[in-house]
Chains A and B, each alone.
Chain A
Amino acid sequence: MGNASIWGRIRQSEAASGLALVSPTAIYAILLLAAPLATVFLYSFAASEQGRIVWDFSFDNYIKIWTAPNVQLILLRSLTVSMSVTLATVLLAYPVAYFVSFHVPASKKSIWLFLITIPFWTSYIIRVFLWKGIILGYNGVINTVLMGIGITDEPLQAINYNAGAMIMTLAHAYAPFAILPIFVALEKIDRSLLEAGQDLGESRLLTFWRVTLPLSMPGVIAAVLIVFIPTIGDYVTPDLIGGGKVPMIANMIEVQMLKQNNKALGSAIAVTTMLIVCIVSIVFLLLNRRFLRAQK
């Protein structure tokens, strides 16, 4: 009776069934996310000798990174590029989200959202090649048009293999990620609040500024983080659009990890990058914390 009742209790307990339900996901998360992260973190304090990890705890890797001017330059470039991408994406996404939420009839909203997500149907690599080859490239649309109407005689260098081209490509790729959370935040706004704003004497523009914008800030904040965090670690775009001439931090990690076979240094750069992303995100969240207070 004793054993049976214990098993019975375990089977009936909510905690046990809850754990059983989340365990596949939990195991997946631990094996494929937490474990590699911990490994990288441990590697960053070790040393690499001819491609092998030597367990010799020290801060040498970090000291090397923080004193190397080229690492600083590339880190700064990564931050600038991803912040520019974030700014461009969110500024361009907001009007789209606003239009869909406020000016598209309710029955057509889902088809609009569907159309917005169409870029996701193709792989990112293919989209990058489209930008590179068709739009920005030497024989791309822009150069062909410019040369065709006689504005330039030879292909423009300025639109390829530089940070500007990277920002353009990334902003396009991440647009839906920014549009969707802003759209959701705008959808949640009670429309009578906007009428109340006008009823209390404010124009449409000032009602937007005083009511709509602050109430949609949770969506904007989400959009900023969703775009900023992955773009700072982007690795394909600098390689393809930047042509390897403007490497970002992820390219540097790749070089250390795979080409130089210096896993320890690569891990330290990775941990440093994560730390910077964390700090920037936390500062950003703190600056905007008044918009994130409980709103019901």
Chain B
Amino acid sequence: MTFSSDKPNMIEFKDVHKYYGDYHALRGITATIKAGEFFSLLGPSGCGKTTLLRTIAGFEGISSGAVLIDGKSMENVPANVRPTNMVFQSYAIFPHMTVGENVGFGLRKDPRSKAEKAAAVEEALAMVGLKGYGGRAAHALSGGQRQRVALARALILKPKVLLLDEPLSALDKKMREHMQVELIKLQRQVGITFILVTHDQEEALVMSDRIAVMFEGEIAQLADPETLYRKPASRKVADFIGTMNFLPAKILSEAGGKAEVETPGFGRFTLDVEDQITGKPSEGGPTVGFRPETLTILFDGQTAPDHESPATITEVVYYGDMTYYDIKLDGSDEPLRLSMRNVFGRPVLDIGTRTRVAWAPGALVLFR
């Protein structure tokens, strides 16, 4: 899941601000999206992610700053001449046209002959798995089919950038997961820059080369999925992406790139400052964060390769393939979440069981 950064810039945001009256919707967005990248804008509703996407499409003007597409400023460039196409959240399929007419809508000015255009429409439909659907009435399609038509209609114009505004949110879970994989394959096949807006962190992690996490009109972190998951830039980002446990921490000393840290439950340990300490100093003081899967319950006879701490199980949630435990470490009142894969022969423990958990300082992140 790495993406080479030597590709040329496709989209550049330079200190983009957007006001709606008094409301400051975009607060100084500066970011670069590379050519051929699958990029996601992730955040809760109202964070400005859709507004930012619409500034690329040209549906939304900006109050100050600049948006560049392929090196060209988009100031005063209307939506219909921008080298972008969009898959709308509602799919915006024209109800008075057939599937084929929808897909061919943007080809009116195309100099090719009628037969060549018809072949292009058929090819685009085949690409999204709707071969032979051209003659159907658009209003009779299912949600998943509408989305495919919207994709074909945009991709047939070979845009430099494809914009996707929460394209999967209207689909059921199975269909959504299926379409995630299809979209990734499609993006690799056509090689076009895809920019996806989503509020679903899992979707963003699965699909993207890089993700910009947005809160309140600002980009809180821009990174690849792995970095985002392993080393979130703030507690807020950590909370938004997956589950993270937090323990209050004290930094005892900092020298030579190492920091001596103490938390209730874990005791004293050493962290790498460069790699493991992140964020600006916060009001609540430093906090150590770690993911549920970085803790492991030790069964009789097992020993931790690194550190271990005694704990009590306070809650058990059984998921079939996984079991989630809430535990309390001795010496700490913070409930911590721990996940264990239910491999063959491993028992599911009961509430109240005394146990030992293995942990490794390398899996921790400290938010200043």
Contacts and interface: CB of A to CB of B under 8 A. Distances in A.
Contacts of B84: 199
Contacts of B78: 198, 203
A202 interface: yes
Interface residues of B, number: 26
A202 B108 contact: yes
Contact of B95 (A198, A201, A215): A215
B309 interface: no
A193 interface: yes
A294 B95 CA distance: 9
A214 interface: yes
Contacts of B109: 201
Given A200-B105, A200-B153, A201-B106, A195 B80 contact: no
Contacts of A196: 86, 88, 92, 94
Given A214-B96, A291-B96, A195 B59 contact: yes
A247 to B, nearest CB: 42
Nearest to B101: A210
A103 interface: no
Interface in B24-59: 57-59
A65 interface: no
A198 B94 contact: no
Interface of A: 190, 192-193, 195-203, 206, 210-211, 214-215, 291, 293-296
Interface of B: 57-59, 78-81, 84-86, 88-90, 92, 94-96, 105-106, 108-109, 137, 139, 153-154, 157
Contacts of A296: 95, 139
Contacts of A195: 57, 59, 79, 86, 88, 92
Name the residue among B57, B80, B81, B90 with the largest chain A CB count within 10 angstroms.
Answer: B80
A193 B92 contact: yes
Given A200-B153, A215-B95, A190 B139 contact: no
Nearest to A214: B96
A192 B80 contact: no
B80 A215 contact: no
Given A295-B96, A295-B139, A296-B139, A201 B81 contact: yes
A202 B82 CA distance: 11
A201 B88 contact: no
Nearest to A294: B139
B81 to A, nearest CB: 7
B79 A199 contact: yes
A211 B79 contact: no
Nearest to B139: A296
A193 B95 CA distance: 9
A193 B81 CA distance: 17
A199 B80 contact: yes
A193 B94 contact: yes
Contact of A201 (B94, B139, B157): B157
A61 B88 CA distance: 63
B88 A295 contact: no
Contacts of A291: 96
B90 A199 contact: no
A127 to B, nearest CB: 37
25 contacts: A190-B90, A192-B88, A195-B88, A196-B86, A196-B88, A196-B94, A198-B58, A198-B78, A199-B80, A199-B86, A200-B105, A200-B106, A200-B154, A200-B157, A201-B81, A201-B106, A201-B108, A201-B109, A202-B80, A203-B78, A210-B105, A215-B94, A215-B95, A295-B139, A296-B95
B92 A190 contact: yes
A128 to B, nearest CB: 39
Nearest to B105: A200
B94 A199 contact: no
Given A199-B57, A199-B85, A203-B80, 19 more contacts: A192-B92, A195-B79, A196-B86, A196-B92, A197-B105, A198-B59, A198-B80, A199-B79, A199-B80, A199-B86, A199-B154, A200-B80, A202-B105, A214-B96, A215-B94, A215-B96, A293-B137, A294-B137, A295-B96
